[in-house]
C-alpha cells in the first residue's frame, strides 16, 4: 500500500499526503499509464528508493540512483560508532572510502562541522550523486575519485571509515533483492573479503598514531576481519553488533 501510494505520488507529481487527502480524484490516462509502468517495475523487484529517487539515512534525505547503493539502516551503526569515538569539538581528519551517495561522509560532517572529511569512490557517477547531496545539504566534503587508496594523498587520518563491498559471490548470485544495485558496490570476491582485507592492510599506513579504522562487514565475517586486523598490527580490535544483533562493524586502532 505504501509503495503504491508513493508511486502514484510520483506519477501525479505530488506528495503522498495529497494522494491520501484526495483519494477521490480521477487521474488522467497519461498519469495512469505512468503509474502502471512504475508499478510493473516495482513488481519486478526494482527498488522503491530508485523509483522515488531518495532514501532517508540518519534522518537525512539523500538522493540515490541506480549508480549508488541504497544506504541501509544497519550502516547507521558506523556513524554512531565514529561519533562516539571523538569529542564534539575535536578537529579531526576523516577519510571515507567508497562513499556512494555520500551518506556516511555527509552525515558525519552534518553532525560534527569541525570534522575535515574526505570521501572517495571508484565510481564517478556515484561521486557525482554524493556531490549533489553535499550541495543540497550545504556541506563541504572533499570528494576524490580513487580506487581505494590509490589517489589518497595524505596519511594523517584520525579515522578511516568504510562500508565496502562485502557480499560473497554465491550470495550475490542467489539474492534477488540485490540484482538492481551496482555490482561494484556489493561484490566482495569469492569469499566477500577482498575489499575488506585490502582496506585493513593499507589503512594502517594512512592513519595517525591512535587513529581508528571503522569498517562495516557481513554478519559471518567478524572473526575473519578481527583476525586479519590483529595480523596487521592493529590493537583493540572488536566487532559491534547492529540493531538485529548481528556482528556488523569492525573497530580497530593503530597503536600509539
Ligand atoms: C557498499 S557500497 C557503500 C556506499 C555508501 N558508503 C553506503 O554505505 O551506503 C560500496 C561503495 O564502494 C565503492 N567501491 C567499490 N570498489 C571500489 C574501489 N576499488 N575503490 C573505491 N570505491 C569502491 C562502490 O562504488 C560503492 O559506492
Rounded distance between C-alpha atoms, residue 200 and residue 234, angstroms: 9
Q: Is the pLDDT of residue 174 over 90?
A: no
- CA–CA–CA angle 189, 195, 198 (5° rounding): 125
Give residue 176's pLDDT band: very low, low, confident or very high (50, 70, 90): confident
**Whether the CB of 11 sits within 6 Å of ligand 1:** no
Q: Please report whether residue 88 resides in a domain.
A: yes
Residues 104 and 222 in one domain: yes
At residue 42 the predicted structure's pLDDT band, cuts being 50, 70 and 90, is very high
Check residue 23 and give its pLDDT.
87
Atom of ligand 1 nearest to the CA of 99: 6
**Residue range(s) defining the domain that contains residue 199:** 66-253
- Determine how β-strand 207-216 pairs with β-strand 116-121: unpaired
Question: What's the chain's Rg over C-alpha atoms?
Answer: 20
Question: Do 74 and 35 reside in the same domain of the chain?
Answer: no
Which residue owns the Cα nearest ligand 1 atom 14?
98
Ligand 1, pocket-test mutation among 102, 117, 184, 249, most atoms within 8 A of CB: 184
The verdict on 135 and 236 lying in the same domain is yes
Residue 239 within any structural domain of the chain: yes
Q: What is the CATH number of the domain that holds 145?
A: 3.40.50.150
* pLDDT above 90 for 99: yes
User: Residue 87 — very low, low, confident or very high, per pLDDT cuts 50/70/90?
Assistant: very high
Instruction: Tell me, yes or no, whether 39 lies in a domain.
Output: yes
Q: 52-66: string of b/e by CB count within 10 Å (b at 16+)?
A: beebebbebebbbbe
Nearest CA to ligand 1 atom 6: 99
For residues 92 and 111, give the distance between their C-alpha atoms in angstroms, rounded to a whole number: 13
Looking at the predicted structure, is the pLDDT value of residue 105 above 90? yes
Ligand 1 atom having least distance to the Cα of 186: 1
Does the beta carbon of 100 sit less than 6 angstroms from any atom of ligand 1? yes
Q: What is the pLDDT of residues 32-41, one digit of tens each?
A: 999 999 999 9
Q: φ and ψ at 54, to 5 degrees?
A: -155, 165
> Distance between CA atoms of 256 and 240, rounded to whole angstroms?
22
Burial of 115 by CB count in 10 Å (0-12 exposed, 13-18 middle, 19+ buried)? Answer: buried
What pLDDT sits at residue 256?
84
The verdict on residue 237 lying in a domain is yes
- Give residue 48 CA to ligand 1 midpoint distance, Å: 21
Residue 95 resides in a domain: yes
Same domain, 19 and 108: no
> What is the average per-residue pLDDT within 40-64?
95
Do 80 and 39 lie in a common domain? no
Q: Report the C-alpha gap between 52 and 54 in whole angstroms.
A: 6
CA distances to 39, 127, 129, 223, 248 from 202, in Å: 45, 22, 27, 19, 20
How many independent structural domains does the chain possess?
A: 2
Looking at the structure, tell me whether residues 36 and 108 fall in a common domain: no
76: Cβ below 6 Å to ligand 1?
Answer: no
26 and 70 co-located in one domain? no
Q: Is residue 52 part of a domain?
A: no
Whether 19 and 101 share a structural domain: no
* Least-confidence region, from 2-6, 158-162, 208-212, 221-225: 2-6
Residue 175, pLDDT score: 87
Amino acid at each position: 500500500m505504501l509503495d503504491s501510494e508513493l508511486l502514484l505520488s510520483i506519477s501525479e507529481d505530488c506528495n503522498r499526503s495529497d494522494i491520501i487527502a484526495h483519494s477521490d480524484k480521477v487521474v488522467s490516462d497519461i498519469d495512469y499509464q505512468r503509474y502502471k509502468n512504475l508499478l510493473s517495475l516495482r513488481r519486478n523487484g526494482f527498488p522503491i528508493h530508485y523509483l522515488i529517487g531518495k532514501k532517508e539515512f540518519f534522518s537525512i534525505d539523500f538522493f540515490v540512483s541506480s549508480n549508488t547503493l541504497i544506504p541501509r539502516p544497519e550502516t547507521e551503526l558506523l556513524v554512531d560508532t565514529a561519533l562516539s569515538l571523538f569529542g564534539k569539538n575535536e578537529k579531526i581528519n576523516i577519510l571515507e572510502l567508497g562513499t556512494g551517495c555520500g551518506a556516511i561522509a555527509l552525515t558525519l560532517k552534518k553532525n560534527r562541522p569541525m570534522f575535515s572529511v574526505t570521501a572517495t569512490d571508484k565510481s564517478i557517477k556515484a561521486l557525482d550523486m554524493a556531490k549533489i547531496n553535499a550541495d543540497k545539504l550545504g556541506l563541504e566534503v572533499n570528494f576524490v575519485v580513487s580506487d581505494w587508496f590509490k589517489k589518497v594523498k595524505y596519511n594523517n587520518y584520525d579515522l578511516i571509515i568504510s562500508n565496502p563491498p562485502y557480499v560473497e559471490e554465491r550470495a550475490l548470485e542467489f539474492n534477488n533483492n540485490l540484482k538492481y544495485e551496482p555490482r561494484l558496490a556489493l561484490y566482495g570476491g569469492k569469499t566477500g573479503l577482498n575489499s575488506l582485507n585490502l582496506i585493513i592492510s593499507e589503512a594502517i599506513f594512512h592513519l595517525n598514531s591512535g587513529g581508528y579504522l571503522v569498517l562495516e562487514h557481513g554478519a559471518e565475517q567478524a572473526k575473519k576481519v578481527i583476525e586479519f586486523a590483529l595480523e596487521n598490527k592493529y590493537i583493540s580490535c572488536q566487532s559491534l553488533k547492529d540493531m538485529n544483533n548481528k556482528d556488523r562493524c569492525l573497530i580497530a586502532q593503530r597503536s600509539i
